Structure 1
Amino acid sequence: MGENPLRDEPDRPLSPPSAEELAATAHTLRSRSAAWRAADRGRALTAFGAAVARAEDLLAALVADTGRRAESELELRAVAATIDRWVRQAPALLADRPDEPAEIPGIVVGGEVVPYELVGVISPWNFPLLLGLIDAIPALAAGCAVLVKPSELTPRFVEPLMRLVPPEVPLRVVEGAAETGRALVGLVDAVVFTGSVATGRQVAEAAARAFIPAFLELGGKDPAIVLAGADLDRAASAILRGGTANAGQACQSIERVYVAREVFGDFLALLVAKAAAAPAGPLVRTGVIPEHLADAVARGAVVRTGGRIERRDGWHWLRPTVLTGVDHTMRVMTEETFGPILPVMPFDGVDEAVELANDSEYGLSAAVFAATEQEARALASRLRVGAVSVNDAALTAFVHEGEKHSFNLSGLGGSRMGPASIGRFVRRRAHLVNRSPRSVWSV
C-alpha cells in the first residue's frame, strides 16, 4: 500500500509496475534514446520546464504529501530554473573535442561524448519533485533516457508530472517501494541514488553486481562553527534557517553547532530568541527524532526551546529545538537526525572546533562564521566535507555552480553540482587519427 503512517487519513495505495512492466518500460525508454540524442532537446526540455512552473495540480499533489506549500512552490521554481540552466550550458559542455596534435608527429586526437542510453534515478521523500529531477534533467540534457523511482512516501506528484512530459522526452517516473528500486538497478546503464547510507550501500552493491556506475548522495550531519569575531546575529539567523528549513528534513541541514566559548552565551541567547519566535514545521517522517531527543535529555542535555512533537491537522509538527549541555556521547551529535534540532556546544580554540566538526562518519557540507573571509576560509580548508558555506549556512541548497564531492559516508561518485556534473551521464570516446603516410608500427 505504501501508506504514510504519519497521516490521520489513509494515504492512497501505490501503483507500482510489475517486474515485467518495469522491464518493458526500461526497454521502451532505451529504444527511444537514439532519437532523443538527435532531437532538439533544448526546445523540448524548455517546454517541459515552462509546464512544470505553472502546474497547479502538481503543486497540490506535493502539498498533499508533504504538508508544506512554500517549499513545494520553491520546488516547482527550482526545477524550471534547473532546466533553463542545463539547456543553456549543455551544448558547450557536451561539444566534441577539437582535434589536437599528439606528441607523436602526424597523430591528432579528437573525441566525442557518448551518453548512457538509460539512466536510473532513485530519489527520496523530503523534496519529492526537485530531488526526483535534479539528476534526471542533466541526464536528459546529455541525451540519455531516464527512469525515475521516487519515494513511496510521497507518490502523489508522479501522475500530474507525467502528464506534463512532452511526448518526445524519454522520461518515465514510476511508483514503487524498495523492490521496484532494486529491480530498476538491474535495468539501467547508470544509477543515481539520494537517501540514507544504509540504502545507498545496497544500491552500490547492486550496481557493482550489474557492473554499472553508481552516483550516491547520502546522509549528512553538517556542522556550523561560530568563531569569536563573527557577526553573532547574522550567524544565529543563518544557522536557525539552515537547520530548520523544511523542518530540518534536508541532507544539507545544520545538525550541530560549535561556538567559541567566549561568545557562547551571547550567541545562545540570540539563537534561542529567534528559535522561540519561529513557527513549527510539518514532519513528513518523525524517524529517529524522538529517540535522539530522549537520548540527549537522558544524558543531560537541556531543551532551551521546542523539543515536543505535536499532532495536529493530520501531521506531526516540531518547533525549532535548541539543545545545550550536549556532547559527542549523544546520538543527536553523531547520527543524522533529519529534523529541526540544533544542539549547541562550546569549544576552546580553533583546533578543538576542527576536531569536533571532523568527528563524524559523514562529510557532506558545513558552515563557518568568522570576522573575516580569510579567517573563515582558512578554517574551511581544514574540514573534511565537500562544501563549506562561509558566513552563511546551507548554501548548497541555492548555489548549484560549485563542484563538490562528498567525504566519508556522505556519498560516492562525481559531483552533482557544477558544470562537470553532466559528465556523470556520458562517456568519452577518443578518435586517434594518423595523418602521416606511415603507421606508427612501421619499422
Structure 2
Amino acid sequence: MSESLPVIAPAERSAVRSARAEPSARRLPVRNPVTGRVDYEVPALDRAAVATEAERLRRAQPRWAALGASGRAEVLLAFAAVIERRQEAIAAALSVDTGRTLLSRREVEGAARNIRRWARLAPQLLGTGPHGEFRPSAILPDVSYAGQLVPYPLAGFISPWNFPVTLSLIDAVPALAAGSAALVKPSEITPRFVDPLRAALAEVPQLAEVLAFVTGDAETGIALVDEVDLVCFTGSVPTGRLVARQAAGRLIPAFLELGGKDPAIVLAGADVERATDAVLRGSVLNAGQVCLSIERIYVDQRIHDAFVERLVEKAQAVRLSCAPEGGEVGPIIHAPQVDVIRRHLADAVERGARIRCGGAFVENGGTWLAPTVVTHVNHGMALMREETFGPILPVMPFADEDEAVFLANDTDFGLSAAVLAESPEAALPLALRVNAGGISLNDCGLTIQTYEPEKTSFGCSGLGGSRMGPASIFRFVRRKALIAQRGRPQPLADYRDPPAETIGSRGRAADAA
C-alpha cells in the first residue's frame, strides 16, 4: 500500500457515498506465474465504488444479525455446500492464479470445511438468545447482570496472494458467523478465483447481501479501511504498519497477521530421517511461500553434519512442477519476490555461506527454484533475519540448548516455530522457551493444519487476538453489560458530605498536630 494514507472526514465520506458508484475504468494486468505472461485483467474499484458496496452491506447487516447464530449457521452451511459443488471451477481458477494444482484443490476443500466448522461452533459460543442469563453480583446483593454480544456492523478484510481463497475467508467466515457483514479485498496478484467464488455466492442470496469482494490494488485497500468498522489484514510488515496507522486514525480495531522468520530447532535426540522430512516439507511447501514456512534451521552440532547430508539428498530429489512429469515445488507466484530471494542468497554467499544444493533459478515462462540448502550461515546475513518467502533452507549448528533458544529468539518476528526431538515430550521444555505464537513439536507447520489451538503473534508478526480457535469469533463482537437493580436505588443523600467548615477545621487540627 502507498505511504500516503488519506483519512476522509465523515462529511466527505457521505459525499463519496452519494456519488454515482461504477467500477473504475482502471484495469490491472495479472501475470500468469507458470507462463510469465499477462493473460488476465481485473477492475480496480475506486473509492466511490468501494463506498457504495460498503453501504449496501451495511443496509443488509441488521437483518443478518437478527437471524441469530443458528439462523446464520444454516446460511453458511448452504454456502459450504455450493462451494463443494463448484469446487472444480474455483480450484481451476486458483490453480492458474498460483501455478499449483493439488494445493489449490485442497485449499478450496479446506475453505468449505472451515465454513462448516464455524456453522457448528458459532451457536455454541454465542448462544441462541439476545443475551446471557442474569447473574447475581458478588458485591451488591440486589444487583444482577448479563451480557450482550453486539457484532461490528461491517468488517473489512485485506488478503494476500500466497493462499488466496483460504486467507480471503479465514477471518471473514467467523465475522459473518458473529453477525457482521464482510467486505473482502483479495490480492490483485491472484484475483482469478474471485469470479467463480462470486458465482457460488450468488446461489446463496441471503449471504450475498452481507458478503462482497472488491478487487483492486493499494487504492482500493485504502478505501476499504476508510469504510469499515474493523479491519483484518494479512500480509507484509511494512504494509501492516500502514494499515494499523490508518485504522488508528479512525479509531477502529486492526487485527494483523504479518510476516515470519520461523525457526526449527533439531535436538540431538531427534530421528534424522523424520526430522529432515519435516523440515524439508515445512520449508518448501508452496515453494516456501507460506507465512509459517520454516526459514531458519538450528541443529545440534553433534548431529549437524549427518542432518545436512541427509537433507541435501532429499532436497536434490525434489522435482519442480515445470518438469514434464510434474513435481512438488511450484513457481514463484509474485515476480518481485524473485529479486528478494536472489538478494538474500547473494548476500549470504558474499558473507561466507555455502550453497549445498539448488540456488539456480529456472526460467520457463515463470520462475522456479529448487530447494536450496545453505550452510555456514550466521545472523549477520539477511537470509537469517529478513523474511525470504522462498524454498531456502539455511542450516546453522548450535552447541547447547541455551544457544538454540537464544538463536531462535534473536529475531524481530514470532509467528511460529518447531522443535524436533526424540518425542514431543522431549521437545516440550525447549518449546516453552521459544517466543512464537505456535510451536510444532516433532513436526513442522502443524499450525497451518489445524484451526483449533488459539495463538497470538509475537514481535512484528502480528497484532490483536487469535485468528485461530474459538476465541477468534469474539474479535468481531463488542460486549455490552446489562446491569439490573432489583432493590431500592441508592439515594443521593447517601453521598452527603459534612459542612465544608467542618472539613476545614479537621484540616487545621491535623496541621497543628
TM-score, reference length from structure 2: 0.84
Counterpart of 2:249? 209
Q: Matches of 2:239 and 2:466 in 1, distance apart? A: 19
One of 118, 132, 139 as aligned partner of 1:97: 132
CA contact (8 A) 1:107 1:432 kept: yes
- How far is the alpha carbon of 1:297 from its aligned partner? 1.5
One of 370, 387, 407 as aligned partner of 2:421: 370
SS at match of 1:164: helix
- How far is the alpha carbon of 1:382 from its aligned partner? 0.8
Counterpart of 1:44? 75
Q: Matches of 2:241 and 2:89 in 1, distance apart? A: 35
What letter is aligned with 1:50? Answer: A
- How far is the alpha carbon of 1:11 from its aligned partner? 3.3
Q: Which moves more between the two structures, 47-56 or 412-421?
A: 47-56
SS at match of 2:412: coil
Counterpart of 1:330? 381
One of 197, 203, 206 as aligned partner of 1:168: 206
Rg: which structure is higher?
2
SS at match of 2:282: helix
One of 352, 366, 378 as aligned partner of 2:403: 352
Q: Matches of 1:127 and 1:77 in 2, distance apart? A: 13
Counterpart of 1:31? 59
Q: 1:162 to 1:5 in 2, by over 3 A?
A: closer
Q: How do 1:253-402 and structure 2 match up within 5 A?
A: 253-280=293-320, 281=329, 282-286=331-335, 287=337, 288-312=340-364, 314-402=365-453
TM-score, reference length from structure 1: 0.97
- Give deviations 1:195-238, integer Å, cap 9, x for gaps: 00000000000000111000000000000000001112111101
Q: Matches of 2:489 and 2:255 in 1, distance apart? A: 44
- How far is the alpha carbon of 1:37 from its aligned partner? 1.1
Counterpart of 1:434? 485
- How far is the alpha carbon of 1:14 from its aligned partner? 1.9
Q: 1:70 to 1:442 in 2, by over 3 A?
A: farther
Q: Which moves more between the two structures, 131-140 or 293-302?
A: 293-302
- How far is the alpha carbon of 1:283 from its aligned partner? 1.1
Counterpart of 2:50? 22
Q: 1:441 to 1:395 in 2, by over 3 A?
A: farther
Query: Identity over aligned residues, as a percent?
Result: 52
Q: Which moves more between the two structures, 372-381 or 238-247?
A: 372-381
CA contact (8 A) 2:348 2:381 kept: yes
CA contact (8 A) 1:279 1:320 kept: no
Q: Show structure 1 runs of 5+ residues with no match.
A: none
SS at match of 1:329: coil
Q: Show structure 2 runs of 5+ residues with no match.
A: 1-27, 321-328, 495-513
Counterpart of 1:149? 185
Q: Which moves more between the two structures, 5-14 or 283-292?
A: 5-14
- Give deviations 1:373-394, integer Å, cap 9, x for gaps: 3331111111111110000101
Aligned residues: 442
1:8 aligns with 2:59: no
SS at match of 1:111: strand
Q: Which moves more between the two structures, 13-22 or 417-426?
A: 13-22
Q: Matches of 2:360 and 2:228 in 1, distance apart? A: 44
- Give deviations 1:252-309, integer Å, cap 9, x for gaps: 0000100000000111122111111112221102511111111112222111111111
What letter is aligned with 1:316? Answer: T
What letter is aligned with 1:8? Answer: G
SS at match of 2:122: helix
Q: 1:201 to 1:375 in 2, by over 3 A?
A: same
SS at match of 2:355: strand
Q: Matches of 1:440 and 1:90 in 2, distance apart? A: 43
1:239 aligns with 2:279: yes
